[in-house]
Amino acid sequence: MDIKITEELNNTLKDNGFKEEEIKEIIANAESSGQKLKARDGDISIAKGGAENLTVYAVYSPSELLDVYTHKMSILGLTGGELNEIDYDDASEWACAKCGEIALERNVDMTYMGVTRPGPGLVCPKCNEYYVSDGVAKTLKTAEAILEEKRA
Under the rule (CB under 5 A), what is the footprint of Zn ion? Answer: 96, 98-99, 101, 124, 126-127
Tally of CB atoms within 10 A around 51: 7
Give the shortest CB-91-to-Zn ion separation in angstroms. Answer: 14
Per DSSP, which regions of 61-101 are E strands? 65-71, 74-78, 91-96
Please, what is the minimum distance in Å from the beta carbon of residue 45 to Zn ion? Answer: 14
Nearest residue to the partner Zn ion, using Cβ: 96
Q: What is the Cα 9 distance to its own chain's centre? A: 18
Q: DSSP assignment, residue 4?
A: B
Closer to Zn ion by CB, 126 or 141: give it: 126
Nearer to Zn ion, 73 or 122 (CB): 122
Residue 28 or 86: the one with the smaller Cβ distance to Zn ion is 86
* Least distance CB 85 / Zn ion (angstroms): 16
Torsion of CA 110, 24, 133, 12, to 10 degrees: 100
